[in-house]
A and B are shown apart, each in its own frame.
Chain A
């Protein structure tokens, strides 16, 4: 480390800003409170989340339980790739799913060259932005989120949070429990670019398609209402 650069920069900053006790600084920050959050597109959480996922150009599906989830995943892969193969991280929640019932053949590990589909079990779904949150670790290789052609994400309705502030509330609990993961990724749509003449193209570097499956107690009309709110 360039120690002289460090000490010079810190000395200059101290000279400019002066010193204050840490408690006072933290108290001042606390007094500033939290940021306002935009109103969701619907009062019901599932419907609002689905609406925002659709706005992010994701495709969506709703299922009631794990059996329905594997069936929906099998349909998605087969209809796009005429195959039943996919790659998923070593997530115990995924390992415990009834894959055989739907004839899906998952390989647990990191995506390799030539494998087009990866499945991630999201840690959270953020209603405010229609994003899913994952963090790196044994059960979640980063490559599976970033390199496939199609990225399928399973979100449990119990893991929906209303805002990014609430997402941090949940993430911070996790950090206290298991330490800080290397990477925390909010993903809100297929990889996109508008760098050529402002024209929006999907699959810039990462997934061309981003398919979110919401699993759990989803109100019967939530998906239809979300679709009606976002013109295709």
Chain B
């Protein structure tokens, strides 16, 4: 997928200017956290589960070579072809080769962020294949020529009215008006059902790979991924090497976290485990199945201080709880992964040079880390990336100068206290009339949007010391 992360600030300003979309984002930002917290509150051992799954994920990553090998062995035993791809181009070529070997013309695709990452659709379409996204949200944005704005609900930025107009333009509707949401869903169901029945190849992602038995796990509510996995005669599962878990019960333990965090359910409508091609006695199912396992910098991340990021289970909770994501939406991030997890993954999977604005899209409020079911210290990783940005001199020179001065000053506490005890009373005196400032030198970034409150007169340390002194005196008097 083409990347536009370098213009994050401009993208964000444009997004804030679109009032209708901003209002829809506000509504989603209000209800999505409520759905999650209702599901989590009903499960008193949620945090214990989170810690258990984290230990299992850490263990799997610590022995990734072993478990990946075990998975490959079992998957081959189950009758699959297992392929490895170092980068997105290799994955795309492998998939195209398989399609061409089967003279395929039509591909039905389930939701897969990995193939968004590699730009598989464009690649296959350039080779003359008709590729149809079958998740309703993905289908809508594919028809609109857009990219996902959310990893779980990719078309949430569009209104029902916009989707109706899209279908009117793209489908042969005759005089049907599709007044209700349910009519829009039925329309897409009909169009996609025909496509499922004529597709020769189905492509799906995987939420987990199970080393002990070679099954992959697929989680959906629509059931579209299952139609992709069962109806076409060839099935290709595209995912990354870091998705391997030791045991089947580890996959369903992770599922408990994933579904509650993503949609507030206890289990999605369809949780499916696929092991390979149709068996001799089977009445349906694909005759040939492939796994394409992508590295694309996952091994680099494994070898870095950002290893914990590989434990991300793609639930979208950090997006739903991020004040920046809620304000500017997913498209501003300019690539596949958005919100806090995207602001870490994008620099790691592309380059910090192209995307160093993203780790700055953070208020350090910490909500993402609080709700992250994989217990990833997202704000810490974002801070580390900002630190790297600074050391690589990617940020503006005056920012770096400001940071340098600030850090020097904070490392000299007496000087810091002396300076603040001069500045604070002066600001207090100037601001005594209005209680705040409309303009301040060196703080235009703040005051261009809102007033700066005038200090109360004493610095924090002065007030703290005074309070300690009062307490001491109070003790003596008692």
Interface residues of B, Cβ cutoff 8 Å to A: 24, 27-28, 31, 42-45, 48-49, 52-53, 55-56, 59, 61-66, 68-69, 78, 81-86, 90, 94, 134-137, 140, 153-156, 158-160, 163, 181-182, 184-186, 189, 192-193, 196, 213-215, 221-224, 226-227, 229-231, 241, 246-250, 252-253, 255-256, 263, 265-279, 281-285, 295, 299, 302-303
Q: In the complex, how many angstroms separate the beta carbon of B320 from the nearest chain A beta carbon?
A: 11
- Check A206 against B223 for contact (C-beta < 8 Å): yes
- Check A183 against B275 for contact (C-beta < 8 Å): yes
Interface residue range, chain A? 35 or more
What does the 1/0 interface line of A184-197 toward B look like (CB < 8 Å)? 11111111111111
List residues of chain B with CB within 8 A of the CB of A16. 64, 299, 302-303
- Check B160 against A197 for contact (C-beta < 8 Å): yes
Q: In the complex, how many angstroms separate the beta carbon of B367 from the nearest chain A beta carbon?
A: 20
Q: In the complex, how many angstroms separate the beta carbon of B287 from the nearest chain A beta carbon?
A: 11
Q: How far is the CA of A125 from the CA of B101 in the complex (A)?
A: 41
Q: How far is the CA of A201 from the CA of B180 in the complex (A)?
A: 11
Q: How far is the CA of A20 from the CA of B255 in the complex (A)?
A: 28
Most buried by B among A17, A175, A199: A17
**A34-42, A62-70, A76-84, A212-220 - the one binding chain B:** A34-42
Q: How far is the CA of A36 from the CA of B48 in the complex (A)?
A: 7
Q: In the complex, how many angstroms separate the beta carbon of B360 from the nearest chain A beta carbon?
A: 29
- Check B83 against A2 for contact (C-beta < 8 Å): yes
Shortest Cβ distance from A111 into B: residue: B284
Most buried by B among A2, A55, A109, A193: A193
List residues of chain A with CB within 8 A of the CB of B214. 180
Cross-interface CB contact of A206 among B31, B68, B81, B222, cutoff 8 Å: B222
- Check A5 against B256 for contact (C-beta < 8 Å): no
- Check B136 against A193 for contact (C-beta < 8 Å): yes
- Check A205 against B222 for contact (C-beta < 8 Å): yes
Shortest Cβ distance from B278 into A: residue: A182
- Check A25 against B63 for contact (C-beta < 8 Å): yes
Cross-interface CB contact of A193 among B185, B265, B272, cutoff 8 Å: B185
- Check B270 against A33 for contact (C-beta < 8 Å): no
Q: How far is the CA of A180 from the CA of B77 in the complex (A)?
A: 10
Cross-interface CB contact of B249 among A38, A165, A180, cutoff 8 Å: A165
- Check B52 against A33 for contact (C-beta < 8 Å): yes
- Check B66 against A205 for contact (C-beta < 8 Å): no
- Cβ-based interface call for A164 (8 A): yes
List residues of chain A with CB within 8 A of the CB of B65. 10, 13-14, 17, 19
- Check A198 against B268 for contact (C-beta < 8 Å): no
Q: How far is the CA of A110 from the CA of B275 in the complex (A)?
A: 21
Q: How far is the CA of A117 from the CA of B250 in the complex (A)?
A: 35
List residues of chain B with CB within 8 A of the CB of A126. 267
- Check B52 against A191 for contact (C-beta < 8 Å): no
List residues of chain B with CB within 8 A of the CB of A205. 134, 189, 192-193, 196, 222-224, 227
Q: What 10 A-B pairs are tightest by C-beta distance, nearest first?
A: A35-B253, A195-B137, A129-B267, A206-B223, A204-B222, A13-B65, A36-B45, A164-B252, A186-B271, A142-B230
